[in-house]
Amino acid sequence: MTPVHATAHPSPPGPHGSEVYRLALPNTSCAAKVSRDFVSSLLTVSRHAELVDDARLCVTEVVANAHRHTGTPLIRVHVGVRRGRVTVSVADDDHWALPMAPCSRADRSGSEGGRGLLLVERVAFAWGTRVLGGGMPYRKAVWFTLVRAGAAP
């Protein structure tokens, strides 16, 4: 069973009616910035500018986690944009490094890390994790959905 940390969807909504964009980039210290700029540009040109700040924060956190906590050679960013909402999925090849839910980190007093997914949980309409593919090696993805104010969920 896929762990989900959202009330809306157990996995990101399908691309029905969405414009879909993909970016594959090397797992380097620049990955978060490149991903952030990529998503910002997409949202600006697709008339979702009001979601840019939240998207920048969330994609930075998720890509930085993939860079910091996995040995994957590539980080893949998948963005589905449709009227009133955007879903971003960040995949890596390290299936053994599924992120912990923010609530299970609350017990760790004094911990310097582990707050990034808590930010994603508070900003996003929904978020979760899923394992992609059935064989070895397979990938995992962390995804989040942002919804414009007034848009139907």
Domain boundaries, the chain: 19-147
Judge whether 42 and 81 are in contact, CB under 8 Å. Answer: yes
Segment 25-80, tens digit of pLDDT: 999 999 999 999 999 999 999 989 999 999 999 999 999 999 998 888 999 999 99
pLDDT (0 to 100) of residue 10: 43
Q: What percent of the chain has pLDDT over 90?
A: 52
pLDDT (0 to 100) of residue 117: 86
Nearest-angstrom CA–CA distance, 65 and 12: 19
Give the CATH architecture of domain 19-147.
2-Layer Sandwich (3.30)
First to last CA, the chain: 24
Output the pTM of the full model: 0.79
Higher pLDDT, 38 or 108: 38
pLDDT (0 to 100) of residue 48: 93
